[in-house]
Protein backbone atom coordinates (compact mmCIF):
# COMPACT_ATOMS: atom_id res chain seq x y z
CA UNK A 1 0.00 0.00 0.00
CA UNK A 2 1.23 3.44 -0.90
CA UNK A 3 2.50 5.59 1.92
CA UNK A 4 1.11 8.79 0.55
CA UNK A 5 1.54 11.60 3.08
CA UNK A 6 4.61 13.49 4.16
CA UNK A 7 3.46 13.09 7.74
CA UNK A 8 5.68 15.92 8.93
CA UNK A 9 3.05 16.96 11.45
CA UNK A 10 2.74 13.47 12.84
CA UNK A 11 6.48 13.11 13.21
CA UNK A 12 6.55 16.16 15.45
CA UNK A 13 4.08 14.59 17.83
CA UNK A 14 4.24 11.67 20.21
CA UNK A 15 1.53 9.02 19.97
CA UNK A 16 -1.04 9.32 22.73
CA UNK A 17 -2.85 6.32 24.17
CA UNK A 18 -6.45 6.84 25.22
CA UNK A 19 -8.36 4.14 27.05
CA UNK A 20 -12.09 4.60 27.02
CA UNK A 21 -14.71 2.45 28.63
CA UNK A 22 -18.35 2.58 27.68
CA UNK A 23 -21.19 0.73 29.33
CA UNK A 24 -24.05 0.20 26.93
CA UNK A 25 -27.52 -0.61 28.15
CA UNK A 26 -29.92 -1.56 25.42
CA UNK A 27 -29.37 1.03 22.70
CA UNK A 28 -28.06 3.68 25.10
CA UNK A 29 -24.55 4.38 26.19
CA UNK A 30 -25.27 4.37 29.90
CA UNK A 31 -21.83 5.45 31.01
CA UNK A 32 -19.01 6.78 28.86
CA UNK A 33 -16.25 9.40 28.78
CA UNK A 34 -18.59 12.29 27.86
CA UNK A 35 -20.94 11.72 30.79
CA UNK A 36 -18.09 11.25 33.24
CA UNK A 37 -16.42 14.48 32.10
CA UNK A 38 -19.75 16.26 32.55
CA UNK A 39 -20.13 14.95 36.11
CA UNK A 40 -16.61 16.10 36.93
CA UNK A 41 -17.37 19.54 35.53
CA UNK A 42 -20.56 19.75 37.63
CA UNK A 43 -18.56 18.82 40.71
CA UNK A 44 -16.01 21.53 39.90
CA UNK A 45 -18.41 24.30 38.91
CA UNK A 46 -21.42 23.52 41.09
CA UNK A 47 -23.92 23.99 38.27
CA UNK A 48 -25.06 22.28 35.08
CA UNK A 49 -25.02 25.57 33.20
CA UNK A 50 -21.41 26.34 34.12
CA UNK A 51 -20.37 22.72 33.56
CA UNK A 52 -21.87 22.69 30.08
CA UNK A 53 -20.17 25.98 29.26
CA UNK A 54 -16.79 24.71 30.47
CA UNK A 55 -17.15 21.74 28.11
CA UNK A 56 -18.32 23.92 25.22
CA UNK A 57 -21.63 22.05 25.26
CA UNK A 58 -25.17 23.42 25.11
CA UNK A 59 -27.25 23.34 28.28
CA UNK A 60 -29.76 21.19 26.43
CA UNK A 61 -27.13 18.65 25.45
CA UNK A 62 -25.82 18.49 29.03
CA UNK A 63 -29.32 18.04 30.40
CA UNK A 64 -30.09 15.23 27.94
CA UNK A 65 -26.86 13.43 28.84
CA UNK A 66 -27.66 13.69 32.54
CA UNK A 67 -31.22 12.53 31.98
CA UNK A 68 -29.98 9.49 30.06
CA UNK A 69 -27.40 8.77 32.75
CA UNK A 70 -29.83 9.15 35.63
CA UNK A 71 -32.31 6.82 33.97
CA UNK A 72 -29.56 4.20 33.69
CA UNK A 73 -28.70 4.39 37.38
CA UNK A 74 -30.47 2.99 40.41
CA UNK A 75 -30.22 6.47 41.94
CA UNK A 76 -29.53 9.79 40.18
CA UNK A 77 -25.93 10.98 39.86
CA UNK A 78 -26.83 14.65 40.19
CA UNK A 79 -28.94 16.42 42.76
CA UNK A 80 -30.62 19.44 41.18
CA UNK A 81 -32.77 20.19 44.21
CA UNK A 82 -30.64 23.20 45.11
CA UNK A 83 -32.04 25.25 42.27
CA UNK A 84 -34.42 25.45 39.37
CA UNK A 85 -33.67 24.19 35.94
CA UNK A 86 -31.61 27.24 34.97
CA UNK A 87 -31.21 28.39 38.50
CA UNK A 88 -29.01 27.60 41.45
CA UNK A 89 -26.53 24.92 42.17
CA UNK A 90 -26.29 21.28 41.31
CA UNK A 91 -24.11 18.75 43.09
CA UNK A 92 -23.13 15.15 42.60
CA UNK A 93 -24.89 12.62 44.76
CA UNK A 94 -22.94 9.90 46.54
CA UNK A 95 -23.71 7.63 43.56
CA UNK A 96 -22.40 10.27 41.17
CA UNK A 97 -19.16 10.58 43.10
CA UNK A 98 -18.77 6.78 43.24
CA UNK A 99 -19.36 6.53 39.52
CA UNK A 100 -16.69 9.11 38.65
CA UNK A 101 -14.16 7.60 41.06
CA UNK A 102 -14.69 4.04 39.80
CA UNK A 103 -14.58 5.10 36.15
CA UNK A 104 -11.30 6.99 36.53
CA UNK A 105 -9.75 4.21 38.64
CA UNK A 106 -10.70 1.66 35.96
CA UNK A 107 -9.02 3.76 33.25
CA UNK A 108 -5.91 4.13 35.38
CA UNK A 109 -5.77 0.41 36.22
CA UNK A 110 -6.16 -0.49 32.55
CA UNK A 111 -3.34 1.81 31.50
CA UNK A 112 -1.09 0.61 34.30
CA UNK A 113 -1.69 -3.11 33.82
CA UNK A 114 -1.33 -2.90 30.05
CA UNK A 115 1.78 -0.73 30.08
CA UNK A 116 4.10 -3.42 28.70
CA UNK A 117 1.88 -4.34 25.76
CA UNK A 118 1.09 -0.68 25.08
CA UNK A 119 4.83 0.01 24.85
CA UNK A 120 5.19 -2.87 22.37
CA UNK A 121 2.29 -1.55 20.32
CA UNK A 122 3.73 1.97 20.28
CA UNK A 123 7.06 0.56 19.10
CA UNK A 124 5.31 -0.43 15.86
CA UNK A 125 4.48 3.22 15.13
CA UNK A 126 6.57 5.88 13.48
CA UNK A 127 7.75 8.64 15.78
Which chain residues interact with a second copy by CB under 8 A? Answer: 1-5, 7, 9-10, 12-13, 15-28, 30-31, 63, 66-67, 70-76, 78, 80, 95, 98-99, 102-103, 105-106, 109-110, 113-114, 117-118, 120-122, 124-126
CB 101 within 8 A of CB 93: no
* Closer CB to a second copy, 7 or 44, in the complex: 7
| Rg from Cα positions in the chain | 19
Residue 89 has φ and ψ, to the nearest 5°, of -80, 160
* Closer CB to a second copy, 28 or 87, in the complex: 28
Q: Which residues, 6+ apart, have CB-to-CB distance to 58 below 8 Å?
A: 52
Q: Which residues, 6+ apart, have CB-to-CB distance to 40 below 8 Å?
A: 100
* CB of residue 33 to a second copy, shortest distance in Å: 10
* Closer CB to a second copy, 22 or 61, in the complex: 22
* CB of residue 34 to a second copy, shortest distance in Å: 13
* CB of residue 65 to a second copy, shortest distance in Å: 11
* Distance in angstroms (rounded) separating the CA atoms of residues 115 and 113: 6
* CB of residue 76 to a second copy, shortest distance in Å: 5
DSSP 8-state code for residue 5:
-
The length of the chain is: 127
* Closer CB to a second copy, 50 or 110, in the complex: 110
Amino acid sequence: MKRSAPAAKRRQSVPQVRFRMRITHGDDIAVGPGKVALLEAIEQTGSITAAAKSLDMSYRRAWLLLDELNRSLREPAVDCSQGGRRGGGSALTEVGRQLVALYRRIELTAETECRGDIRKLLSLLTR
